[in-house]
């Protein structure tokens, strides 16, 4: 039981073969059960469709089945002896940015499907831009439907070149290209004998082996306090523990630490769990930290190293994805959540909107509507302890909440 967890996101429209690909990964890894398969088969027949529509496996809601579209992010699970996989399957059309961004926020790998017949299209670029914006560490471009193009190497090379040219403008570091046929199974789970010219790994081999050990930040110690544990019973009389999930760095017993916002310093006396003490804790572990000195710490505070602190600031610049039908209000006030802190914020400036298909900066039209991405400036009611999103996805991210409706209306990444 030493297998790791890998989260990946897929995006695409109905016709680019995404459902077929997921269906194949699930089916070939024996993650589709007989009764699920039978239910989907019956439903397909009832709808008068030819063959078994594997999309019905992921389209779980009644409205989705009726309209034949995916509305919401669907999570699917499969595992091989090496890894357990969580797929965040996001729809291509409706509410695309909102769903892609949601799926991308926790992903290690983004899987982008390209139809070999069409090459790099708007949707390919959009997905890659979002993957770059959300700093998904690994990008894999599956050039699908190679069977319809005679498994031609030139087609593959052309698409690869087109994509690389476009990707040079993006902030992506690890891109892999795989020519596949999801329908026929070429290079998905087993190697294709139709494309001997391709020397890379199959998709499943890639997913099982891509190095994700460095996807967390192990350098800058960040421990947002989530909950103060005070048992107040005879066995644990003076116990005062700070429960939380390590957001960055490695925390060791005996480390000299500083707490924010107070600025007091102390030493880690103990890293506790129900199974006993630990010598060290690292992301994404949930632990309870005890300090030598009795200082006043509560939820929303952060434990860091004295010589390596996040920025404590009330003025924050964000790349913001907007999710709500009501546009973002300039000078508007919203509730803001960052790690375990809550505050309020004022939108001070909307600098530009970014075209999610071309990266073009729109400086004229600054109305930020649903699915728009914009660069904005906010001022918060109290200092937040932030890192640039590029350095840490946890301490560099925020959500905005409408104070009237309580809906989550935006997601921001600290620049």
Applying CB under 8 A, among 18, 216, 222, 353 the residue interacting with another protein is: 216
Tell me which stretch binds another protein (CB under 8 A): 16-24, 28-36, 200-208, 367-375. 28-36
222 binding another protein? (CB under 8 A): no
Tell me which stretch binds another protein (CB under 8 A): 13-21, 98-106, 184-192, 306-314. 98-106
**Nearest CB to another protein, comparing residues 152 and 208:** 208
**Nearest CB to another protein, comparing residues 53 and 144:** 53
E strands along 149-285, which residues?
A: 174-179, 222-224, 227-229, 241-245, 251-252, 256-260, 265-273, 276-278, 280-281
Distance from CA of residue 91 to its chain's centroid?
15
197 binding another protein? (CB under 8 A): no
The count of residues interacting with another protein (CB under 8 A) is 80
Reduced to 3 DSSP states, what percent helix, strand and coil does the chain have, rounded to the nearest 5? Answer: 20, 35, 45
Q: Within 38-97, which residues bind another protein (CB under 8 A)? A: 39, 43, 57-63, 65, 71-77, 79, 83-84, 86
Q: Minimum CB separation from another protein for residue 298, in Å?
A: 10
282 binding another protein? (CB under 8 A): yes
Q: Is-contact 26 37, C-beta < 8 A?
A: no
Q: Minimum CB separation from another protein for residue 115, in Å?
A: 26
Phi, psi (degrees; rounded to nearest 5) at 282: -145, 165
Q: Within 225-244, which residues bind another protein (CB under 8 A)? A: 226-227, 229-233, 235-236, 239, 243-244
Applying CB under 8 A, among 48, 50, 199, 213 the residue interacting with another protein is: 213
Distance from CA of residue 288 to its chain's centroid?
26
Q: Within 283-302, which residues bind another protein (CB under 8 A)? A: 283-286, 288, 299
Q: Within 338-377, which residues bind another protein (CB under 8 A)? A: 338-340
**Nearest CB to another protein, comparing residues 43 and 149:** 43
Burial class (CB in 10 A: 0-12, 13-18, 19+), 288: buried
384 binding another protein? (CB under 8 A): no
Q: Minimum CB separation from another protein for residue 380, in Å?
A: 15
Annotate 152-177 with b (16+ C-beta within 10 A) or e (fewer): eeebbeebbeebeebbeebebeebeb
322 binding another protein? (CB under 8 A): no
Phi, psi (degrees; rounded to nearest 5) at 149: -115, 25
Sequence-distant (6+) residues with CB within 8 A of 327 are: 367, 368, 369, 370
Q: How far apart are the first and last CA of the chain?
A: 39
Q: Within 161-190, which residues bind another protein (CB under 8 A)? A: none
Q: Minimum CB separation from another protein for residue 186, in Å?
A: 26
Q: Minimum CB separation from another protein for residue 164, in Å?
A: 29
Phi, psi (degrees; rounded to nearest 5) at 363: -95, -10
Q: Minimum CB separation from another protein for residue 381, in Å?
A: 16
269 binding another protein? (CB under 8 A): no
Q: Minimum CB separation from another protein for residue 271, in Å?
A: 13
**Nearest CB to another protein, comparing residues 16 and 59:** 59
**Nearest CB to another protein, comparing residues 134 and 159:** 134
Using alpha carbons, list the distances in angstroms from residue 113 to 68, 142, 387.
20, 5, 32
Q: Minimum CB separation from another protein for residue 292, in Å?
A: 19
Sequence-distant (6+) residues with CB within 8 A of 229 are: 239, 240, 241, 242, 243, 288
Q: Is-contact 65 56, C-beta < 8 A?
A: yes
Q: Strand, coil or helix: what is 172?
A: coil
What's the CA gap between 406 and 219, in Å, rounded?
35
Beta bridge partner(s), residue 344: 335
Q: Minimum CB separation from another protein for residue 267, in Å?
A: 21
Q: Minimum CB separation from another protein for residue 7, in Å?
A: 9
What's the CA gap between 405 and 232, in Å, rounded?
38
What's the CA gap between 11 and 124, in Å, rounded?
9
Tell me which stretch binds another protein (CB under 8 A): 156-164, 304-312, 369-377, 403-411. 403-411
Tell me which stretch binds another protein (CB under 8 A): 122-130, 145-153, 332-340, 354-362. 332-340
**Nearest CB to another protein, comparing residues 262 and 273:** 273
């Amino acid at each position: 039981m030493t297998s790791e967890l890998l989260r990946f996101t897929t995006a695409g429209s109905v016709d680019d073969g995404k459902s077929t690909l997921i269906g194949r990964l699930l089916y070939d890894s024996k993650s589709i059960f007989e009764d699920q398969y039978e239910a989907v088969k019956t439903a397909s027949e009832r709808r008068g469709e030819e063959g078994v529509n594997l999309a019905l496996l992921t389209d779980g809601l009644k409205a989705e089945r009726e309209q034949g579209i995916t509305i919401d992010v669907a999570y699917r699970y499969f595992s091989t002896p090496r890894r357990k996989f969580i797929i965040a399957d996001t729809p291509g059309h409706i509410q695309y940015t909102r769903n892609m961004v949601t799926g991308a926020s926790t992903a290690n790998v983004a899987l982008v499907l390209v139809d070999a017949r069409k090459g790099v299209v708007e949707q390919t670029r959009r997905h890659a831009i979002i993957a770059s914006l959300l700093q998904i560490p690994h990008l894999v471009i599956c050039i699908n439907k190679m069977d319809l193009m005679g498994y031609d190497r030139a087609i593959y090379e052309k698409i690869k070149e087109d994509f690389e040219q476009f990707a040079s403008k993006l902030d992506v570091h690890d891109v892999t290209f795989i020519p596949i046929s999801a329908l026929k199974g070429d290079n998905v789970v087993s190697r294709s004998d139709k494309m001997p010219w391709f020397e890379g790994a199959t998709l499943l081999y890639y997913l099982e082996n891509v190095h994700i050990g460095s996807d967390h930040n192990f350098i800058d110690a960040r421990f947002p306090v989530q909950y103060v544990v005070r048992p107040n019973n005879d066995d644990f009389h003076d116990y005062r523990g700070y429960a939380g999930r390590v957001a960055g760095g490695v925390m060791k017993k005996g480390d000299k630490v500083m707490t924010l916002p107070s600025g007091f310093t102390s030493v880690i006396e103990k890293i506790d769990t129900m199974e006993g003490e630990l010598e060290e804790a690292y992301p994404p572990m949930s632990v309870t930290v005890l300090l030598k000195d009795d200082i006043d710490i509560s939820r929303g505070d952060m434990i860091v190293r004295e010589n390596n602190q996040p920025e404590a600031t009330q003025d924050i610049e964000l790349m913001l994805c907007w999710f709500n039908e009501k546009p973002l209000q300039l000078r508007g006030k919203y509730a803001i959540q960052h790690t375990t802190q809550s505050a309020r914020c004022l939108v001070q400036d909307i600098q530009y909107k970014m075209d999610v298909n071309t990266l073009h900066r729109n400086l004229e039209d600054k109305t930020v509507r649903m699915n728009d991405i914009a660069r904005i400036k906010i001022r918060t009611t109290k200092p937040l302890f932030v890192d640039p999103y590029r350095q840490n996805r946890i301490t560099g991210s925020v959500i905005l909440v409408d104070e009237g409706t309580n809906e989550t209306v935006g997601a921001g990444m600290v620049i």
